[in-house]
A and B are shown apart, each in its own frame.
Chain A
């Protein structure tokens, strides 16, 4: 069965620190990969996605993620976080045979201290 694992459940950083959130998935075939963000009191928003091509994808607000197929990983990075990045972050995977179904990780709560 497909699964997604996010290694960090709660991360606390100071402003300007670098961020890396881990995401590993289990699926043997072609995948689409996503990072979603949920700011306090807001709906889930797409940060970035990977379908094919360059494994380093750039998203909104300075976020990027790298797809490493051999490691089944899609880690999210940002060189310098801001207080406004405080949110919950979800990694999600969609297998090519699943016709739309997303499998989500458990989520990582990021708290950025000013």
Chain B
């Protein structure tokens, strides 16, 4: 079955450490997105990519970095500069560059600080 796979499901970060969250899709979708979900704040866009080798900052990009070397993969790195990284991270994708298509979501990664 086609879908979006996020790994790991749970991740723990030590102070000062960078961690990378994986997002892989086999839907042949062009556009991919990373959101952060916090209680009472809904989902906020971190980064998005509409095409391979190109990505744009979302509303809360500080302390995060991404890459899009392959169409099916859009990993998110939470750097030590992100002072409040504890959250639920969701990856999404759409078939074309985004308009006229709903986004499909992965199961998420829950990141906690040790």
Contacts and interface: CB of A to CB of B under 8 A. Distances in A.
Interface of A: 4, 6, 9, 32, 34, 36, 42-46, 49, 51, 90, 92, 94, 96, 98-107
B52 to A, nearest CB: 15
Given A44-B90, A90-B42, A107-B40, A100 B105 contact: no
Nearest to A106: B42
A3 to B, nearest CB: 11
A76 B100 CA distance: 20
A100 B42 contact: no
Contacts of B48: 100-101
Interface string B72-97: 00000000000000000010101001
B27 interface: no
Given A44-B90, A44-B105, A101-B58, A9 B98 contact: no
A108 to B, nearest CB: 10
A104 B98 contact: no
